[in-house]
Amino acid sequence: MRWRVGVDRGPGPADLYRFGSDLVLSLRGNRRARNHFRAEYASAALGTESAVPAVEATVGSNVWRGRARGRTPEAEIRGTHKLAGWRASVPVTSNGDAMRVAVDVRGPLGLALVQSYILEPLVSLAAVRAGYVLLPSAAIAREGQAVLLIGRSGSGKSSLAALALATGRQILGDDQVLIMPGQDCGPFPRRLRLYPDLAQTAPAAFAALRPSARHTLAGLGQLRSLTRGFVAPPLRISASALGGGVSPLCLPIGEVIVIQRAAVDALSSEPLGQRELAAEAADVLLRQRSAIFSVAGVKAAFASVLADEGAFIARAFASVSARRVVVPNSWPAERAVGALAHEVGL
């Protein structure tokens, strides 16, 4: 069934979310859109409109008709993924004004995809202007420090975060964290993504879930099997549902582990130089922004922001211990996550 998310008529109050200390997202949309983002960023919600937003987003249907023109140059992005589709206007300037984005979205999971492909990449660009980096990675608290996990989708980051929570540890995020000045890692308030294979990859985490969540995961697994993987949404839950919860404080980065799957026979771990580590961070950021940077002129417009971000990452990782852990492609997910858990110290 095809559906659209409608946008509120008239200006109306915006929902505000603060990430870090100076990065505020303003979001307008109808009930479905607002409920989605309220659930995603619940702990970051602000109860006042006095904050100055860095990103102003309107998400829904027919929002292009009401978007402000002539205030910032815009580029159009169109995208589809399976049953979802979107059309977005994104800024092509890196000046100090708030970045404004309007998104028409349709289809199941459309809001989640717009969040990942459009909104959070724009927030990450605004983060640089606020003085930190929003890095696509997971982070687990260990002995008063943060173990940062960098890896592509499917590398096991979310399963490791869930396993850490189930053992009583805190996390700072399973897919996004803030890298702060002074080699600190800060939490990013977003729901966890859990997948149907959690019972195999992290049995302790699966057992810690409420029965209703376990039943939902089982249903999602059946849906994935029936559609042969075409429809494979995750279960989104609060970190507190698994025990340890999200650390409310920034933690110094104690170690960075880059996870890589490759056609090798055995797991290996080797030290990673600072230039290689910075390159890995730049790569995950570039892949996160691939949708908005696919439009001619957008990446060039943010060249100075990207240069500042690169310099920030180099400083943040200047003296951090880092290594690359390579996991055989042939290993099933449960064996890979088990080996990675040992490497992380879970």
Asked whether the predicted pLDDT for residue 1 surpasses 70, the reply is: no
Question: Same domain, yes or no, for 84 and 217?
Answer: no
Asked whether residue 232 falls in the same domain as residue 255, the answer is yes
pLDDT above 80 for 48: no
Domain tally, the chain: 2
Looking at the structure, tell me whether residues 174 and 218 fall in a common domain.
Answer: yes
Per the listing, tokens 């815009």 go with 74
* One domain for residues 121 and 145: no
Q: What is the pLDDT of residues 68-123, one digit of tens each?
A: 444 455 788 888 888 888 888 887 766 667 888 889 888 878 899 999 999 999 99
Residue 4 lies in a domain: no
324 in the same domain as 256: yes
Rounded CA gap, 168 and 171, in Å? Answer: 10
Q: Are residues 73 and 33 in the same domain?
A: yes
Predicted pLDDT of residue 2: 30
Where a domain ends, among 82, 98, 130? 130
pLDDT band at 64 (very low <50, low <70, confident <90, very high): low
Question: Do 167 and 51 fall within a single domain?
Answer: no
119 and 149 assigned to the same domain = no
Placement of tokens 């029936």 in the chain: 226
Does this model's pTM top 0.85? My answer is yes
pLDDT attached to residue 72: 53
Is position 265 within any domain? yes
Containing structural domain, residue 339: 135-344
Q: Are residues 109 and 181 part of one domain?
A: no
- HEC profile for the chain? CCCECCCCCCCCCCEEEEECCCEEEEEECCHHHHHHHHHHCHHHEECCCCCCCCEEEEEECCHHHHCCCCCCCEEEEEEEECCEEEEEEEECCCCCCCEEEEEEEECCCHHHHHHHHHHHHHHHHHHHHHCCEEECCEEEEECCEEEEEEECCCCCHHHHHHHHHHCCCCEEECCCEEEECCCEEECCCCCEEECCCHHHHCHHHHHHCCHHHHHHHHHHHHHHHHCCCCCCCCEEECHHHHCCCECCCCEEEEEEEEEEEECCCCCEEEECCHHHHHHHHHHHHHHHCHHHHCCCCHHHHCHHHHHHHHHHHHHHCCCCEEEEEEEECCCCHHHHHHHHHHHHCC
Going by pLDDT thresholds of 50, 70 and 90, the confidence category of residue 308 is: very high
For residue 297, pLDDT over 90 is answered with no
If asked whether residues 100 and 158 sit together in one domain, one would say no
Last residue of a domain, one of 80, 97, 130: 130
Residues 118 and 164 in one domain: no
Do residues 120 and 177 both lie within one domain? no
